[in-house]
Amino acid sequence: MSAQSGRRTEPARPVGIRFDGLHAHLPDWAGLDDLLFRKLQSHGDFDKWRQAILGLPAPPASSNSFEDTVTVSAELAPSETKRLRDALQALHPWRKGPFSLLGVRIDSEWRSDIKWARIAPHLDLEGLRVLDVGCGNGYYGWRMLGAGAALVIGIDPSVLYCMQHQAINRLIGDDRNQVLPLALETLPEALSAGRFDAVFSMGVVYHRRDPLGHLRRVAQCLVPGGTAVIESLCAEGPQTLIPDGRYARMRNVWQVPAQRQLAHWMADSGFEDIRIVDTTVTSTAEQRTTEWMRFESLAEALDPTDSTRTVEGYPAPRRCLLIARGPGGRLVGSGGPATSCGASPPAEAVLRLGLRPTGGDPRPSCRFRSL
């Protein structure tokens, strides 16, 4: 507030950074601008990254495709290609991708397309509004749009990932996929409660000291009966792993839940129809060092004499994918082989906790709900 006028001071608007699309799709979120710009500007490298974005060549007429490699196709002059490559390299490290932007291929640390291929068959996102919690640079948001989502709001506290998205979206130019520099805990409840048809939280719950609180907040963001997609590191067998120090060289892994533990956390958080649809041991083909992520990666986190163990002696990373229905109402947006309308998922892929949709037809519904 300005002491003299009593009016709210306008936030500084750094040139080159835009959240206009957010205002167009969710007008009541316009009041977040102050918080978003302050968060970005609080990072010591913000201006360096912003200069890189301002150094991007002007995008020529192009076409986009949101498939395994998120692609913007157009011809650039060789000097412009170098300029583009240098600007994007200034936003190193690139953890999520791959992207192909006007001829520059970003081979990110993670082949995120491999994870998406495990998820996509279980969902029908047509026409849905999605919240992606811990969205990284927004790679999955493009895939969600490619799968028919109407709008994807990604949130991630990493300023760099938000800046990577700003760079990508200067080239793609599609404001239906937003990345905001926010943690779930800082997203105001008044703006988010009951607003999304589907909420994703992938790779986040084991980073949270209060996983139940995180899952409850995910549930709260859903429309009644909306779909939650929870992806996590998970321990093999019935025991949750609580690392003593680092896990696979990561500092902030508080616990690696047993699958059943994660499903119980979700049930305690109000989710219903909880299904484990995939479990996969992470391979060094999916997560590796590349020229776009030059630091150490999974290979260096594994015991060189036994790749089934981490360097700390724990079981090597494996990840599980759970899909569930939020509290109340009918299922929204979960389809595909495991849950197609009226069909029961394969028994071996399902962990039922004795929960059933409340009232009405007990089968999953194929109807969609929009806000």
Q: Which residues are at the interface with ligand SAM (CB under 6 A)?
A: 96, 110, 112, 133-136, 155-158, 161, 183-185, 202-204, 207, 231
Judge whether 154 and 192 are in contact, CB under 8 Å: no
Nearer to ligand SAM, 56 or 155 (CB): 155
What does the alpha-carbon distance between residue 279 and residue 274 come to, in Å, rounded to a whole number?
14
Question: Distance (Å, rounded) from C-alpha 168 to C-alpha 238?
Answer: 42
The least CB distance from residue 262 to ligand SAM, in Å, is 15
Q: Interior CA angle at 364 toward 358 and 369, to 5°?
A: 85
Nearer to ligand SAM, 116 or 271 (CB): 116
Nearer to ligand SAM, 57 or 203 (CB): 203
CB of residue 185 vs ligand SAM: minimum separation in angstroms?
Answer: 6
> Closest by alpha carbon to 343, among 355, 331, 353?
331
- Burial annotation 140-154 (CB, 10 A radius, 16+ → b, else e): bbbbbbbbebbbbbb
> Residue 141 CB, nearest distance to ligand SAM (Å)?
10
Taking the complex as a whole, how short is the minimal distance between the CB of residue 350 and ligand SAM, in angstroms?
22
If the CB atoms of residues 29 and 272 are measured against ligand SAM, the closer one turns out to be 29
In the complex, what is the shortest distance from the CB of residue 354 to ligand SAM, in angstroms, rounded to a whole number? 29
And the tokens for 94?
């690139």
Question: In the bound complex, what is the minimum distance in angstroms from residue 244's beta carbon to ligand SAM?
Answer: 21
* Beta carbon nearer to ligand SAM, 110 or 196: 110
Q: Is the dihedral of CA 304, 310, 315, 319 positive or negative?
A: negative
DSSP string, 305-352: TEEEEETTSSBPPEEEEEEEEPSSS---S--STTT-TTPPPPGGG---
- Using the minimum distance from each CB to ligand SAM, give the nearer residue, 113 or 197: 113
The tokens describing 119, both together, are: 């998820």
Residue 137 vs 261, nearer CB to ligand SAM: 137
CB of 158 to ligand SAM, least distance (A): 4
What SS3 class is residue 226?
strand
